[in-house]
């Protein structure tokens, strides 16, 4: 006979969005358990990205990505200052290296302004050379509000906040199965020492496993389970510092934002992500992809030290659109969509999920409270 627990709110998934949501629910006085399948927080998407605080430029106007990114970015900077989470508002340049891309900059700028992103301007070639002497570009958009954050420190601070408010974090607790019952959803959790858990309110923030989790819940309508695709992004790094102060992004490409140059808080450069569609989770970086990286980087940094790039790490984005398809918006489902009381699904939470974590948490609690 399995031990049984009845909990008010359960958040499934210990990435940055799950932790922020657990914190927000605890702030509202709810009893909260966060279930994490592994032994540590944010071991997948949340710790395997560029750690960029995005401005909100690229996303379709009125989309959840645009709305939650802009709101989330403002909240995140404020939170980082208040809680001393390491971060830096270093700014970003979206660079055009040919005349066709120069024409695209106007469209990107218009979309960013329509999304109410502040601090955007077009920079011409001469001014660019003064800003970044090593950069080769005909023009660029400068985003002054883009920045970087220590994602691990952010997750740890959010966890500390949540725990101080009474939230419980339960590790090594994968959801094995579930079923819809009158009082909410009943789960079997854990493998070595499984237990039964009944929750009134459930937030499915399982990232790469969020869609497959739904197939484990008896009584959840199958027509509301979307297809998920996995876009692996590989990163390479240089053993020395790159001569740039800003983050450098090419004009976006299908499936992602192109191989961009980002900086960590120590000023070390890393490059990526590219787009590699995969069907299974694996995080090894194929060194043979280095040539493609060097070619992409050389378009805006002609003196990139060829042959010195080193494999760094990889991450996988949970996407609701596949190769060649238009990028889908975040999908946040509540009972008004799928009909299961108390369940909120966070599906396809890829970039800008890190930037949006606090605004997504607010959005989810609003769904729960309506």
Domains contained in the chain, CATH given: 4-47+153-227+327-369 (3.50.50.60), 92-144+229-319 (3.30.9.10)
pLDDT at residue number 305: 87
Residue 103 to residues 81, 86, 138, 226, 256, Cα–Cα distance (Å): 37, 36, 11, 36, 19
CA distance 271 to 312: 9
pLDDT at residue number 256: 58
Work out the mean pLDDT of the chain and round it to a whole number: 95
Whether residue 258 is predicted with pLDDT greater than 80 in this model: the reply is no
Spatial CB neighbours of 43, under 8 Å, sequence gap ≥ 6 = none
Give the confidence band of 48 by pLDDT, cuts at 50, 70, 90: very high
pLDDT digits (tens, 9 = 90+) for 303-354: 988 888 999 999 999 999 999 898 899 999 999 999 999 999 999 999 999 9
Do you find a cis peptide bond into 112, omega within 30 degrees of 0?
no
pLDDT, mean of residues 29-37: 98
pLDDT at residue number 252: 79
Strand partners, 224: none
pLDDT digits (tens, 9 = 90+) for 124-172: 999 999 999 999 999 999 999 999 999 999 999 999 999 999 999 999 9
pLDDT, mean of residues 106-120: 97
Percent of the chain with pLDDT over 70: 99
């Amino acid at each position: 006979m399995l031990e049984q627990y009845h909990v008010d709110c359960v958040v499934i998934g210990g990435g940055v969005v799950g932790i922020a949501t657990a914190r927000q629910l605890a702030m509202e006085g709810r009893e909260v358990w966060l279930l994490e399948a592994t032994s540590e927080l944010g071991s997948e998407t949340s710790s395997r990205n560029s750690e960029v605080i995005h401005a909100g430029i690229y996303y379709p106007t009125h989309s959840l990505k645009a709305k939650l990114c802009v709101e989330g970015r403002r909240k995140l900077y404020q939170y980082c200052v208040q809680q001393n989470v390491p971060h830096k508002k270093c700014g970003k340049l979206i660079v055009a290296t040919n005349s066709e891309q120069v024409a695209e900059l106007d469209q990107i700028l218009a979309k960013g302004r329509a999304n109410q992103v502040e601090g955007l301007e077009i920079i011409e070639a001469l001014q660019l050379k003064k800003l970044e002497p090593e950069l080769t570009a005909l023009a660029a958009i400068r985003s002054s509000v883009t920045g970087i954050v220590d994602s691990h420190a952010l997750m740890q601070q959010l966890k500390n906040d949540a725990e101080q408010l009474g939230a419980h974090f339960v590790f090594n607790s994968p959801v094995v199965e579930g079923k819809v019952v009158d009082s909410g959803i009943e789960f079997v959790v854990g493998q070595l020492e499984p237990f039964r858990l009944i929750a009134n309110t459930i937030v499915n923030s399982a990232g790469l496993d969020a869609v497959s989790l739904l197939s484990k819940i008896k009584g959840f309508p199958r027509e509301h389970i979307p297809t998920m695709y996995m876009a692996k992004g590989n990163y390479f790094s240089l053993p020395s510092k790159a001569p740039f102060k800003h983050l450098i992004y090419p004009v976006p490409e299908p499936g992602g934002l192109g191989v961009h140059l980002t900086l960590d808080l120590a000023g070390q450069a890393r490059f990526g992500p590219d787009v590699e569609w995969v069907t299974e989770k694996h995080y090894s970086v194929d060194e043979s992809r280095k040539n493609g990286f060097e070619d992409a980087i050389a378009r805006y940094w002609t003196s990139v030290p060829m042959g010195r790039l080193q494999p760094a790490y990889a991450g996988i984005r949970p996407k609701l659109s596949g190769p060649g398809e238009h990028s889908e918006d975040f999908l946040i489902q509540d009972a008004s969509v799928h009909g299961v009381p108390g369940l909120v699904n966070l599906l396809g939470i890829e970039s800008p999920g890190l930037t949006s974590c606090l605004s997504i948490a607010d959005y989810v609690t609003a769904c729960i409270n309506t």
